[in-house]
Structure 1
Amino acid sequence: MKLEEKLQILRKKNGYSQEQLADKLGTARQTISKWENGLAIPELNGLILLSELYGIPIDRLVKDDDRCNVRLCDHSDRNISEMISFLICAKKNTYAANKNEDVSSRMKSHDFSYCDQGYKYLDSYLGGEKFFGSEVVWHQDDPIWGMNYTGRITGEHFNSDFLKEALLNVPYEIPYRGPEIFAKGDYHYHCRVEGEFIWYQGYEEIFYQEEKIYECCFHGGMIE
């Protein structure tokens, strides 16, 4: 496998556009395009950054032999962009939209499920004002991604409809809960995330005027 082919596979596997990868590496999108079209080769510093970002040794990037490429090829069928698109669709068709509630998978749990084109999503949580839950995505019956979350209501003005409206606006860039900022009237939703789709953690909160009335922590990543 040629270097340019590996670079395309790794970028798509990790859910980056060329613009997003360029921003991560501190270079121009045109540079990424040249690398992936075989018009240029990354310099040593670029190879080091790619190695650190993708968590693979440099020799697997530059060597053109089967022994170095076998793991890369084995996992290249995991299309993270496709997974994110499915996850967003699932979120917009379950808890946030009051749709597709399922039978409880655990005692007193609230479950929501969604399936499409070989993918299955399950959101299962326990509690009310203080809650704990998990989301899992399967592809062809194999678990491939998951997230745990726990939160609590801290103020009397909490409005579940506002939270669900924020969650319906989940963005592709951070497809875990809601957008970085969402506001309506006196309600303000904030979400911040560290990491990437393969390994991340985050925190969301809701304010009514200037009072924090809700908070939730979440973390997760790919399953292999």
Structure 2
Amino acid sequence: MHRMIAPPDAGTLETFVVRAKAATYVGGGTPAAPPWPGSHLLTFSDGPWSYQDCYVGGASFCGQETVRHHDIPVWSMTYYGYLLRPELIDAATAGRVIKAALTGLYATGRFLGGWTAQVQEWLYTDTSSGDVTRFTGRETIERDGTAVYELLYLGGTVAE
């Protein structure tokens, strides 16, 4: 017999998502064993909550983040990022800019909404619509007004 567990409220969910994102990719979390060759897996857990970010690629990459509450999937986000101008930025530089910019965003207690950050000569911008329950967004990096990197994302709550 399955025990019924109420789904988490949006505020609690968003708080956990921000903590998990800050502790994994942005925070330099320790990678877990990947599920298949060529993939990367980052995980974070706290009590009944767990988070996984699994992706493939490097200079261009695609991935999915999933949050479970009491082992039940409750939220997911997919993303695809790529260098628009590889002659002007490389994957390692884009990663450093993203980590610096998102560290500031997550410190505000959120991961959605308008956000810009100047990181040396790079301008990071994140725009999104919706809230933690259903959203779409785009992040870009520019140098001297030229877009050099882009990532598209979407996600929200999931239910059986």
Sort the TM-score into its range (normalised by shorter chain). 0.7 to 0.9
Q: Is this contact kept in 1: 2:116–2:126, CA < 8 A?
A: yes
Larger radius of gyration: 1
Q: After superposition, where does 1:107-122 map in structure 2 within 5 Å?
A: 107-122=37-52
1:87 is aligned to 2:17: yes
Q: Is this contact kept in 1: 2:18–2:110, CA < 8 A?
A: no
1:157 is aligned to 2:86: no
Task: State the partner residue of 1:98.
Answer: 28
Code of the residue aligned with 1:203 in structure 2: it is R
1:175 is aligned to 2:105: no
Query: Runs of 5+ in structure 2 lacking a partner?
Result: none
TM-score (norm 2): 0.85
1:189 to 119, 124, 127: 124
Q: Could you tell me how far apart the structure 2 residues matched to 1:170 and 1:117 are?
A: 24
Query: Shift of the alpha carbon at 1:163?
Result: 1.2
2:57 to 118, 127, 142: 127
Q: Could you tell me how far apart the structure 2 residues matched to 1:76 and 1:111 are?
A: 28
Q: Could you tell me how far apart the structure 2 residues matched to 1:115 and 1:76 are?
A: 19
Task: State the partner residue of 2:67.
Answer: 137
Q: Could you tell me how far apart the structure 1 residues matched to 2:97 and 2:69 are?
A: 31
Root mean square deviation, CA, Å: 2.1
Task: State the partner residue of 1:35.
Answer: none
Q: Could you tell me how far apart the structure 2 residues matched to 1:221 and 1:174 are?
A: 14
Higher relative contact order (CA 8 A, sep 6+): 2
TM-score (norm 1): 0.62
Task: State the partner residue of 1:10.
Answer: none
Where in structure 1 do 4 or more consecutive aligned residues deviate above 4 Å? 74-77, 171-174
Q: Is this contact kept in 2: 1:100–1:114, CA < 8 A?
A: no
Query: Runs of 5+ in structure 1 lacking a partner?
Result: 1-73
Q: Identity of counterpart residues, as a percentage?
A: 25
Q: Could you tell me how far apart the structure 1 residues matched to 2:57 and 2:24 are?
A: 17
Q: Could you tell me how far apart the structure 2 residues matched to 1:146 and 1:76 are?
A: 18
Q: Could you tell me how far apart the structure 2 residues matched to 1:199 and 1:95 are?
A: 22
- Larger helix proportion, structure 1 or 2? 1
Higher mean Cα deviation, 120-129 or 81-90?
81-90
Task: State the partner residue of 1:31.
Answer: none
Query: Shift of the alpha carbon at 1:76?
Result: 5.8
For residues 117 and 89 of structure 1, do their structure 2 counterparts lie closer, same or farther at Cα, with a shift above 3 Å needed?
Answer: same
- Larger strand proportion, structure 1 or 2? 2
Query: Shift of the alpha carbon at 1:173?
Result: 7.0
Q: Is this contact kept in 2: 1:167–1:179, CA < 8 A?
A: no
